[in-house]
Each structure stands twice: as C-alpha cells, then as structure tokens.
Structure 1
Amino acid sequence: MNIIRLLLGFFLPPLGVFLTVGVGPTLFINILLTLLGWLPGSVHAIWVIAKHNENPNREEGIY
C-alpha cells in the first residue's frame, strides 16, 4: 500500500495525501500547493507520506 500511496502522491498529490492522513489541514495545504503548481504539491505529498510511514503511531495532524 505504501508504494501505491507514493505513486499517487507523485502523480495525483491530493489523493495520496488524502489516503494517508484523511481530510484535514494537511490535505488543504496540499491542494493549495498543487493549485500553485504540480511540483510543489507533489513534493509536499511525498514528504507527508514519508513522514507518516516513519512514525505510524503518531496522531493525525499537520506535517
């Protein structure tokens, strides 16, 4: 599942973030960054997914 989320985070950044953290401030930040350009949204999505995989026991929040 992690590979799928990373690929979605690269090609469709908001979807990858949504599948990782759900609806919240992180998703809205990613949508804004994606609207500003695909690259910032993609970098943010991959970073969020990687950080979430690093510590999966952490409560959902802003990354």
Structure 2
Amino acid sequence: MSFLQIFLAIFLPPLAVAMEKGLTSAFWINLILTCLFFIPGVIHAFYVLTK
C-alpha cells in the first residue's frame, strides 16, 4: 500500500476504493458506509485495500 492509498483511505475512502477496484460493488458499499457513518467507510476502505 502506498502513501497515497493510505491518505485517500483516511480522508476520501470511496476514492481510494475506486482507484483500487474500479466502480464495483465494493465502491458502492464504501460510498454508502461513508455517507452514513464515516469511520466504517474508512475501515472498509482499509479492508478492501489490504485484501
């Protein structure tokens, strides 16, 4: 994981997921999680990036 991915996962989780996986279901799940509650979106972004 690069510094840019870590930075984006913390501050813009959907963008980090979109850069890694594209506009797949992981992106949409992360977008919903980030809109509802920010912290679960960050956790999900780190999960997707490390998986």
Structure 1 or 2, whichever has the larger Rg, is: 1
Same structural fold, with TM-score higher than 0.5 when normalized by the shorter chain: yes
CA distance in 2, matches of 1:22, 1:43: 18
Aligned residue for 1:3? 3
Structure 2, gaps ≥5 residues long: none
CA distance in 2, matches of 1:50, 1:2: 11
Aligned residue for 2:29? 29
Provide the secondary structure at the position in 1 that maps to 2:23.
Answer: coil
CA distance in 1, matches of 2:8, 2:50: 13
* TM-score of the superposed pair, with normalisation by structure 1: 0.74
* TM-score of the superposed pair, with normalisation by structure 2: 0.90
Q: Greater helix share, 1 or 2?
A: 2
Q: Hey, which bits of structure 1, 4+ residues long, moved more than 4 A?
A: none
Superimposed CA distance per residue, residues 1-59 of structure 1 (whole angstroms, 9 cap, x where no aligned partner): 722112101111000001110111000000010011110100000110011xxxxxxxx
